[in-house]
Chain A
Amino acid sequence: MDQFYRKIMCALLAGSLAAGLLAGCGKSAGEKADTEDTAASGENSALDKTGGDGGEITIGVTSFADTLEPTEQYFSWVVSRYGVGETLVRFDENGEIVPCLAESWKISEDQLTWTFKIREGVKFSNGDDMTPELVKASLERTFELSDRAVSFFEPASMEVDGQNLLIKTKEPVAILPGSLADPLFLIVDTQADTDAFAMEGPICTGPYAVESFSPTDSCVVVRNEYYWDGEVPLDKVTLKCIDDQTTRSMALQTDEVQIAYNLKTENLADFEDSGEYNIQQLESLRSTYAFMNQNGVLGDKALRQAVIRGLDKETYCDTLLEGGATAGKAPVPPTLDFGFDELKDENAYDPDGAKALLEEAGYKDTDGDGFVETPSGEKLELNFVIYTSREELNVYAQAAQASLKDMGINVKLNTVSYETLLDMRDSGEFDMLIWNVLVANTGDPEKYLRENWYSTSSSNQMGYSNPQVDELLDQLVTEFNEDTRKNLIMQIQQLIMDDAATVFFGYETTYLFSSKSVTGVKMYPMDYYWLTKDISLAE
C-alpha cells in the first residue's frame, strides 16, 4: 500500500513539474509574440512619421566597453563602431584619410600649424550646433581626461579662427590628421551633461544616438534626427553583445542578429553553402602578439629568444587557424609596405636551437618534473594572460603552451575578460600578455610602434627600453618624407625583433558575415566603423 502511494505521489509530482515547464515555455513564447507585436506597431508608427523608410536590425558584436565615456581606455572605439561618434577626419575603405567633420585641412609652411576647416551645418544629436568652439572644447576635454591622447601628439595651442580650427604643435607632427581620425578624438557636445556620457552615451554627431546602454548586454541606438550627411535609413539598431563566437554564429543563423562581427574561419562552414549570407573577407591590419614582461623572469634575453624560437607560428596560422591568419615575425604586417620581407628574423622557429640556447643560459631541469628551472634554481612558470572575446587567442595560447612544453618551459594560461586584461597590463601582472591591435590606427604604424615600444609610453608596461628605438621613434614624429619614414620604421622593427621584445604570433584575416536582408555592410581596414549610415534593410 505504502509503495502504491509513493508511486502515485511520484507521478503527481512529475506531472506538476512537466506542467510547470510547459507553462514556462508557453509564457515566454507568448511574451515574445507580445514584444514582436509592439515592435511591429512601433515600426508602423515610425513609418507613419517618416513616410516609407525605417526598420530595425540587430547586430551581434563583441564589446569591451564598461562605459561609453570616450576618453576612458579604448571605449571610444565602441562609440565610433556603433555609429554614434564621428571624428574630424576619417578613413575610407582603402585606408585613405577623407574629410568628415572637417571639410579640409592644410599645414603651414613651418609645419607647426594645422588648419582644419570645420564643416558648417552639423548638429549634435541633441540639436545643438557643432561650432568650431565646441570642437575645440571637445578636443581639449579629450586631452584633459585621457592619458592616451598625448601619445598621439601634444598640441601647443588650439585656436578658433572663424570656421577654422588651428592646431599648433611645438614640433612638426607628420601624422596629425591621421591621429585625429582615431576614435579617441571623436567630437562630443561638451555643453551637454558630460557626466551622463558613461552610462547614457555621449552626445555626438553620428548617424545614430544612444538610447540605452547596458555594458554586458546590449546597446540600443536610434536614428539621429539631426544627422548632417543625408537620411539615416534605420529607426533603431540593437547592438547585442554576444562574446561567445559559437553563440554569435548561431544567432546569425537563427536570424536573431542580421550582422555578426568577429567571426572566424571556423564559422565559414556554417554560412558558405547557404545563399542567404554575404561573406566579406579582408587581410587585416591587425596584429596579434604577446608582450613579454621584462620586469620578471623574462628580463633574460636568452629566455625570451628561446620562447620565440620555440613557437611554430606558421603551423598555428596555417593549420590550427586554417589560414585565418598570416604567420608573424615583425610588428607591422606584410599588408602594409614597411619591408616585411626584408626584415631579418633571427628568432625564427627553431626548437633545437631554442633548447640549446636554454641549456647554454643555464636553464636546466634540476628537479626532474619535465620543466626547466631558472639558472638560480627557482621554478620557472610563465603566466600567460589571454582574454576571452577573441577565439583565436585561445588557439595561439594553447598552441604556444604545448610548443613551449616541448622546450621544457612551463606556461600557465590565465584566461580573463578584456577589462581585467587591461587592468593586469597596467599593473604589470603578467609574464606574457596577449594583445590584438590595429597596427595603423592613424593610417601609419608610427603611433602603434610608439605606444607599445617607446620606453616611457604609458602602454609599455613590459619594461622594454632601447634608447636607439626611442631615438628613431622621436625622429619619426617630425619626419614628413615617406621614404625616410619607411626606412625609419624598418629600422625600428628590426631593433625590436633583435631584442626579442615581443612574440608576434600573426596577422589575422577578418571576416564579416551578414544576412542578405541588409545591404550596405562594408568592411573597413581600420575597424572603427561598423554601423554606418549606409546600412539599411534590403528591399
Chain B
Amino acid sequence: MKVLRFLKNNKQFTVFLLLALAIAAIAVFAPWIAPRDPYDAVMSDSLKEPGSTYVWGTDKLGRDVLSRVIYGTRSSLTMTLCLVAVIFVVGTALGILAGYFGGAVDAVIMRIADMMISFPGLVLAIAIAGLLGPNMVNAVIAISAVSWTKYARLARSMVLKIKQNLYIEAAVVTGTKRGSIIMKYVIPNMITTMVVTAATDIGTMMLELASLSFLGFGAQAPTPEWGLMLNEGRTYISKAPWLMIYPGIAIVVVVVVFNMLGDSIRDILDPKQE
C-alpha cells in the first residue's frame, strides 16, 4: 500500500519508471521480441524498404533493422549502466578520500581531476579509446576516465561541508574509527545527492557511448549498436534513410526516458525541493 501511494503521489516518476522498465525488458527479452536474428545477413535482401516482410527495412547486408535496434538496447543499456556504476563508485570514493583526509591525498587526487577536465571530455575519450583499441569495453574505460572527476569534485565538496558538523566532531572526540565515521556519518549524508547525479547522468552517458561508436571507437561491426548503426547507415542516407531514422529514434526515446526518470528521482530525493 505504501508503495502504491508513493507511486500515485509521484506520477511523473511512475510513468518514466514504467517506461524505463519497459526498455530494460526489451533488452532482457530481446531474443523473444526480435522477429529475426540481428546477425543474419540475407544478402539478396540488401537495403529493402520498410514493409510487411521487414517492418523497419533492412541494412546493406540484408539484416533486419528492427531486430538490430531491439538487440541494440542490450549493448547500449548494459554498457551505459556499467559506465555510470563505474564512475559513480570510483568518483565518489576518490572524492571522499580527498575531502576527508585533505592534504597530500587531496592535492594528488584533485590535481589529477583538474588535468582530466582541462581537455574537452569527448576528445580525450577519443584519444584514450584510440590508444586502447576500439571496442565496447575500452569505450567504457575511456569515458569513465574523463567523467569520474565530476563525481569526485561533488563528493569532495560535500564531505568538506559535512566535516564541519558538530556530530562529526563529536564522533572524533568519542574515538570513533575513521572508517566508521565515513561509513556511518559521511556517506549517508551525501549519498542521495550522488545518486541523483548518477541518475540524471544516464542519458548523457548513453549519448557519449553512442558518439564513440559512431566515430568508430566503440562497438565494432557486426555488433548491433545504435551509434554504430547510424554510422553504417550514413553512406546510404539519401537512398535508405530508414537506416538512420530508426536507430536515431531509439536513441532519442531511450535518452529522453532516462533523463526524465533522473529528473523525477531528483525531484523526489532532493531535500531542497521539499
* Interface of A toward B, CB cutoff 8 Å: 245-246, 266, 269-270, 312, 315-316, 319-320, 388, 391, 394-395, 397-399, 401-403, 405, 412-413, 415
Contact = CB atoms under 8 A, between A and B. Distances in A.
B220 interface: yes
Given A319-B46, A413-B220, A402 B61 contact: yes
A388 B239 CA distance: 21
Interface string B44-84: 10100000000000001100000000000000000000000
Tell me if B's interface is mostly helix, strand, loop or mixed: loop
Given A312-B43, A316-B43, A319-B44, A401 B238 contact: no
A266 B239 contact: yes
Interface string B187-220: 0000000000000000000000000000010001
Given A316-B43, A319-B46, A245 B222 contact: no
B60 A320 contact: yes
A260 to B, nearest CB: 14
Nearest to A270: B238
Contact of B239 (A269, A319, A320, A391): A269
Given A270-B238, A413-B220, 18 more contacts: A245-B235, A246-B235, A246-B237, A266-B236, A312-B43, A315-B44, A316-B43, A319-B43, A320-B60, A320-B61, A394-B221, A398-B221, A398-B222, A401-B221, A401-B222, A402-B39, A403-B41, A415-B216
Contacts of B44: 315, 319
Contact of B221 (A269, A270, A315, A413): A413
A40 to B, nearest CB: 32
Contacts of A270: 238
B12 to A, nearest CB: 17
A316 B41 CA distance: 12
A394 B236 CA distance: 13
B234 interface: yes
Nearest to B41: A402
B186 to A, nearest CB: 28
Contacts of B237: 246
A245 B44 CA distance: 24
Contacts of B220: 412-413, 415
A399 B216 contact: no
A210 to B, nearest CB: 30
A334 to B, nearest CB: 23
A269 B239 CA distance: 7
Contacts, number: 49
Contacts of B134: 415
Contacts of A312: 43
B271 to A, nearest CB: 14
Contacts of A245: 235
Contacts of A391: 235
A391 B235 CA distance: 8
Interface bin, chain B: 10 to 19
Interface string B230-263: 0000111111000000000000000000000000
Nearest to A413: B221
Nearest to A405: B39
Closest 6 CB pairs of A and B: A402-B41, A315-B43, A319-B46, A398-B221, A246-B234, A413-B221
Q: Which of B61, B220, B222 has the most CB of A within 10 A?
A: B61
Nearest to A314: B43
B227 to A, nearest CB: 14
Nearest to A264: B235
A391 B220 CA distance: 16
Nearest to A370: B39
A498 B169 CA distance: 84
A315 B235 CA distance: 19
17 contacts: A245-B235, A246-B235, A266-B235, A266-B236, A269-B239, A312-B43, A315-B44, A316-B43, A319-B46, A394-B221, A395-B61, A399-B61, A402-B39, A402-B41, A402-B222, A413-B220, A415-B134
B38 to A, nearest CB: 11
B238 A399 contact: no
Contacts of B238: 269-270
Q: Which of A312, A398, A403, A415 has the most CB of B within 10 A?
A: A398
A399 B43 contact: yes
B43 A398 contact: no
Interface string B171-194: 000000000000000000000000
Contacts of A412: 220
A413 B221 CA distance: 7
Contacts of A403: 41
Nearest to A316: B43
A85 B228 CA distance: 40
A402 B46 CA distance: 13
Contacts of B236: 266
A331 to B, nearest CB: 25
A271 to B, nearest CB: 10
Nearest to B239: A269
Contacts of A399: 41, 43, 61
Contacts of A319: 43-44, 46
Nearest to B220: A413
B134 to A, nearest CB: 8
B55 to A, nearest CB: 21
Interface string B124-141: 000000000010000000
Contacts of A415: 134, 216, 220
Contacts of A397: 221
A401 B61 CA distance: 11
Nearest to A322: B46
A432 to B, nearest CB: 15
B2 to A, nearest CB: 29
A424 B60 CA distance: 28
Contacts of B216: 388, 415
A86 B134 CA distance: 40
A316 to B, nearest CB: 7
A394 B220 CA distance: 12
B46 A320 contact: yes
A320 B43 contact: yes
Contacts of A398: 60-61, 221-222
A110 to B, nearest CB: 55
B78 to A, nearest CB: 19
A412 B222 CA distance: 9
B213 to A, nearest CB: 12
A263 to B, nearest CB: 11
B50 to A, nearest CB: 18
A395 B221 contact: no
B61 to A, nearest CB: 6
Nearest to B216: A415
